[in-house]
Amino acid sequence: MPRTLQSRRVERLPELVRLQGRILFLAADAALVRSQLEGQDLAWTPAIGLRDNISTDEITPAYICYYYDETLGDFPYLGLKCGEEFPITRASVKRGGFVASVSGKRRGKGSSREQSPYAEMCAGIKLVIAENIERIYRENCQNLGVLTTTDFSIIERVQRGEAIPLAAFTQGEGEITRGIIEYGGLFNFNVARLQGKVILARPDTAPRPMTLGEKILARHWVVDPAQGKVGVPAVKPGDEGFVVTDIRFSHEYVTPMAAIFFEQLVGKDEQVSDPASILMFRDHLTFLPEAMTPERVKEGLLDVALQLEKKQRAFAAKQGIKLYGELRLGHHGSEAICHSKILEGHAEPGMVIIGSDSHTPHAGAVGCVAFGVGTTAIFNSWITKDVRLTVPETVKVVVRGSKPDNVTAKDFMLEVLRHPYVKSGQAIGKLVEYCGDAVESLSVDERATMTNMTAEVGGFTGYVAPDAKTVEYLVEYRGMSRAEAARRCAGLASDRDAEYCEVIELDAGAIRPMMALPGDPGNGQDIGTAAQRIRVDIAYAGSCTAGKKEDMDMYARVLAEAAERGARVAPWVRFYIQCGSQDVKRYCEERGYLELFQKVGATFLEPSCGACINAGPGVSKTRDEVTISAINRNFPGRSGPGQLYLANPYTVAASAITGYITEWQAGMALAPAE
């Protein structure tokens, strides 16, 4: 334990909580929201019509996350879309004297950015109320000391100024979550744990059939942190504890805030625990100088954003942490997108991996438990090397049969996302196990598309059990011997009688190329059922989800057929292809893809998160622009103000050629439609 924490004084919160202030109802009606900002208080009634599906992109749009201090308090809900309006302006929430914020279903979905609850907290929000709350966002609130509840009866008690028992917010929670709430946040709780003031009971779960995810968590369960004892015979859903991590990673959106927390609360001269197992990435904002609008530049946001890179680089150098940085010599881009490199170069079957991004489950493609966490959890893991969790239930997604040639893992996921169980939010916080002969037939790259998009499902993480294809992947990407790769995969499978809370079964042969309509990845429909042709202005092929080697094969397959017929990208379409890592770029060079892409009129981009987070080429500029994209989510404002459709790599490439959203089939004659 760092010496500065040995004598630090930490106390539990009082048993009664009095929340003094107004309540802000995040309504679907922009006029109702504005009236509250202007001073009108509302009495709770369902007739208010609360906004559902409020993502962290709406709580703090990506450009707001360039800030990483209390300035964030000026910005909560700036991206909140009510109809076609954005009623909340800078500092209006802070000026309103609000102490609580209320919304409907799926509060805090999307990116794991802790800037969202931190911005709310700095604006005065001490309580979040919603019908259900996404796992990472909820944990971020708890870690910071922001109270959460799904009990709407609390609203009237706050409005009456009652002293509310703290137990109202800890009821039904496990030992650790209850302790974190009682100590006012994760850091104080961990200090108490390290000082021996908190001693956690180990799970008393008897040996039982387990899913693969449960097995991995059981093997990593922290029994005695002082003695370094790890591993229990079994765990079951609901068991709460800490698991030791094999890899912890963060990127420049998160590292600076975590570094400031570390320096302020632990000490500037203290050392992180096991720096060799920590990785950092400069991958989110490398194209920002050319993507940021002149208005944002005038506001000074570019200068603010550039400080993120400097702070991360300085902290990594001081701590001896491996940093995958940006390209130099005037080139935009990075060495790799974090998820791409974690899978390509670091993830191994059976590992526990945490990352500062909701798409951390990408690495589950090789049979590990990889999940996103917030800034405070990352910062605390630098001290303890472990992370808290409650063992989730497991959902099994079984995809059987033979898929059509033009159907991909992306279509599998768009089908999953429109399934009633997922669409209704019942998969939130669950382990998701992907299996079935159609999944087994996929490459590791394609499996990564599925595990990556577990974030859109709302799941805790997703994984595919390792098999012969995983062995081949480890041999090719890691240079392992076949025997060593096979050894690492051995024994990693769910037990025959393992328990699942839900089984979703899909027929791969019945799935057709899909698109998700603007607003949410769950708005999926078969492209062939569209009532009219949809003209596109931008085609974006890339991101962690769709910038892998096999994705490049798909783009190249479509574009090679088009080039043979002399076709090029439609004159009115801007077409971008962005790879996930320098390894993928070298793969494209070796196969002549870069020349092909250039020949048909596509623009190839170096690795970066880019347009996926509204920070690179491929971002829409107006509300009327239409984008067809292979990225993972299309929440409002995610990639500019325009209309963003999601589809598989074949569809994106074909649509770039025709200028309309087009379902590609092998051998079809592609040409611009006008």
pLDDT in tens, 212-223: 999 999 999 999
Which residues sit opposite 578 in a β-bridge?
605
d(CA 556, CA 584) in angstroms, rounded, equals 13
The two domains 20-160 and 390-510 share their CATH topology (first three levels equal): no
Please tell me the distance from the alpha carbon of residue 584 to that of residue 572, in angstroms, as a whole number: 28
pLDDT of residue 535: 97
Q: How confident is the model at residue 616 (pLDDT cuts 50, 70, 90)?
A: confident
Distance between CA atoms of residues 606 and 598, nearest Å: 14
Of the pLDDT bands very low, low, confident and very high (cuts 50, 70, 90), residue 196 is confident
How is the chain split into domains, by residue range?
A: 20-160, 390-510, 516-658
Q: Which tops the pLDDT comparison, 288 or 165?
A: 165
pLDDT confidence bin for 304, thresholds 50/70/90? confident
- Name the pLDDT band for 298 (thresholds 50, 70, 90): confident
Q: Model-level pTM?
A: 0.88
Distance (Å, rounded) from C-alpha 585 to C-alpha 368? 26
- For the stretch 622-636, pLDDT in tens is 999 999 999 999 988
Contacts of residue 325, Cβ cutoff 8 Å, sequence gap at least 6: 282, 313, 334, 335
Per residue in 505-547, pLDDT tens?
999 999 999 999 999 999 999 998 886 899 999 999 999 999 9
The DSSP code for 241 is E
| pLDDT of 297 higher than 90 | no
C-beta of residue 103 within 8 angstroms of C-beta of residue 26: yes
**Considering the domain 516-658 in this protein, what is its CATH number?**
3.30.499.10
On the CB side of 58, CA atoms within 13 Å amount to 24
Average pLDDT, the chain: 94
Q: Is 514 helix (H, G, I), strand (E, B) or coil?
A: strand
CATH code of 390-510, in short, is 3.40.1060.10
Q: Residues 107, 110, 114, CA angle at the centre, nearest 5°?
A: 80
Measure the CA–CA gap between 369 and 523, rounded to whole angstroms.
Answer: 28
Mean pLDDT calculated for residue range 238-263: 95
pLDDT at 1 over 80: no
Compute the C-alpha angle 321/325/329, nearest 5°. 140
Conformation bin of residue 580: beta by default, left when phi > 0, alpha when psi is -120 to 50: alpha
Q: In sequence order, what DSSP letters do the residues of 398-465 get, joined into one string?
A: EEES---TT--HHHHHHHHHTSHHHHTTTTTT-EEEEESHHHHTS-HHHHHHHHHTHHHHT-SEEE--
pLDDT tens column, 444-490: 999 999 999 999 999 999 999 999 999 999 999 999 999 999 999 99
- Residue 330 pLDDT more than 70? no
- Say how many C-beta atoms besides its own lie within 10 A of residue 8's C-beta: 16
Band of pLDDT at residue 112, cut at 50, 70 and 90: confident
| pLDDT for the residue numbered 292 | 80
Q: Which fold has domain 20-160?
A: Aconitase; domain 4 (3.20.19)
